[in-house]
Structure 1
Amino acid sequence: MWSADDVARASVRRQGEGLSVAQVGDKVAEAQRREQETWQQLRSPAGGRGPYDVDPADLAEQWVARHTEWRRIAALMDDEGWPVYSTEQDVQGSTWARERDAQREGALARRAAWQREQQDARDELKAQVWLPAEVSRRLRAIAARTDLQPEQVLAQLADRVRMDNNGALTVGTFTPR
């Protein structure tokens, strides 16, 4: 759901809270070193890569994004003269965090709606009913008088069916709508 940039921004923001200028400088240097290491690993033959190792291309992309974000924070602290990084003061980082949260909430809402649709689809019953000619004529006449389709009349009828203790089905009088 999130890009490497989004993941980097979130993790760097979390890790950076309360760090001094020197500590952020160390993080920039570490991210640069790790970025170079992953690019070297990416260029080397993949023979030593095990089945559970992280994809070097993905890892390189993540470290490039982290390095970029740590540099942004270092520059921000330098420009603003902050002795310590604070996520609350980081306007751009806070905007990105709110956007990620909104994106996540939207994705969760879409997922929940999709799950409800899937459940409704499982609960629905689509049936093809063959009725004798006389019953079919009566059903069509009722449907015509009520401005409904025959299927709609049957659905309303089925909605009102009740079963008593003996297993007998009953339908009280009703007017199709």
Structure 2
Amino acid sequence: MWSAQDVARDQVRRRASGLDMAAVAEQVAGAAARERETTEQLRRGGSFSEFERDPERLAAIWTAKHVEWQRVRDLMAQTGWGAYEPERDAQGSKWAHEREERRDGALAARAAFEARRRGEADELRAELWLSAAPSRLIRAAAERAGLMPAQLLAQLAERVVVGEDGTVSVPPFTPSR
């Protein structure tokens, strides 16, 4: 759901809160080292760990973290802050707000998908193969009614009556659009 930059910005924003310039400088150096390590490991084609399934993404995240730590360091130097305060970081706050909006949108889309899926749970989709004679009858009846054969079959299915003895029948009806 989030890009490497989004992940890096979120993590740096949380970790940097309250850090002074020296601590941020350490984080910049650490991120630079991890960026070099992951880029080299990716170039060699070796695995990172049993837990890392996407080495390209890990390398991209460390590159983005390095860039974000540098941005935080530069912001603190420009503004003269003694410690990083995420609330005062206008650009970081804007990005955090955008991430939350995307997250909320994705969660709403997922909830809507789940609701549709639950609504469709009682539906039945079937592929039906009929022999020539019944197929011709269905096609002719559907054509007279101005329907697709599948629509006529759906109307037939909606009117099915199951008797107490298990017999299945459809009372006479006129197909409609």
| Alpha carbons of structure 1 residues 53 and 169: separation in structure 2 relative to 1, 3 Å | closer
Measured in 2, the distance between the counterparts of 1:53 and 1:173 equals 63
1:136 Cα shift? 4.3
Counterpart of 2:67 in structure 1 is 68
Measured in 2, the distance between the counterparts of 1:163 and 1:156 equals 16
| Alpha carbons of structure 1 residues 131 and 111: separation in structure 2 relative to 1, 3 Å | farther
| Alpha carbons of structure 1 residues 136 and 62: separation in structure 2 relative to 1, 3 Å | closer
Query: Percent identity at matched positions?
Result: 44
Counterpart of 1:159 in structure 2 is 158
Matched, 1:132 2:130: no
- Count of aligned residue pairs for this structure pair: 170
1:131 Cα shift? 5.7
Measured in 1, the distance between the counterparts of 2:60 and 2:145 equals 64
Counterpart of 1:80 in structure 2 is 79
Measured in 2, the distance between the counterparts of 1:38 and 1:138 equals 64
User: What root-mean-square deviation, in Å, do the aligned CA atoms of Structure 1 and Structure 2 show?
Assistant: 3.9
Measured in 2, the distance between the counterparts of 1:160 and 1:70 equals 67
Q: Deviations over 1:50-109 (max 9, x none)?
A: 873757765544332212101101222232333332323322223323333444455552
Q: Deviations over 1:93-152 (max 9, x none)?
A: 233233334444555527974994xx77x941010222637x945862x43443223432
1:39 Cα shift? 5.2
AA in 2 matched with 1:10? D
Which TM-score applies when normalising by structure 1? 0.68
1:172 Cα shift? 4.3
Counterpart of 1:19 in structure 2 is 19
* Unmatched segments (≥5 aa) in structure 2: none
* Unmatched segments (≥5 aa) in structure 1: none
| Alpha carbons of structure 1 residues 72 and 128: separation in structure 2 relative to 1, 3 Å | same
Conserved 8 A contact 2:138-2:152 = no
Conserved 8 A contact 2:4-2:60 = yes
